[in-house]
Amino acid sequence: MMSNSKGGLVYSTDGGRMCPECRRPVAACLCQTKPIIAGDGVVRVSRQTKGRGGKSVTVVKGLALDAAALALLGKQLRTACGSGGTVKDGVIEVQGDHCELVMDTLRKHGHHPKRAGG
């Protein structure tokens, strides 16, 4: 059995996984909570191809939502466009050039998107 360099409990049947820093259950951990990414109130929709082998991706930035709400909105956008995508670091990426469709869907959800880029 390999031990952690800091030692200590890794898993407990009472609390589940334990945080290596504060030694609390991950659900009650205070040191690993990520802050909510605060947007500036302007939702920007753009198309990018850089670093993706020439394939275009629709990118949505500036949404002031928590991680769960952002993931749900990303799922709804991908479903509306009929394509794949991901949510990373507060940015929603939808595969393909779907800027107008994404902007229409965001308007239906009460956001005020702006087209960014070319």
Q: What is the per-residue DSSP string for 2-33?
A: ---TT-S-SEETTTEEB-TTT-SBGGG-SSSP
| pLDDT tens figures, 2-41 | 544 556 666 656 667 777 777 777 777 777 555 545 556 7
Radius of gyration of the chain (CA): 19
> Residue 18: its pLDDT value, please?
72
Between CA 47 and CA 38, with CA 101 as vertex, the angle to 5 degrees is 65
Q: What is the mean pLDDT of residues 64-71?
A: 87
> Residue 33: its pLDDT value, please?
53
- Residues 6+ positions from 82 with CB-CB distance below 8 Å: none
Instruction: Judge whether residue 69 has pLDDT over 50.
Output: yes
Query: Rounded to whole angstroms, what are the CA distances from 66 to 49, 54, 70, 73?
Result: 27, 31, 6, 11
Which residue segments constitute the domains of the chain, with CATH numbers given?
10-35 (no CATH), 43-115 (3.30.780.10)
> Residue 1: its pLDDT value, please?
45
| pLDDT tens figures, 76-117 | 999 999 999 999 888 999 999 999 999 999 999 888 999 988
Please tell me the pTM assigned to this model: 0.66
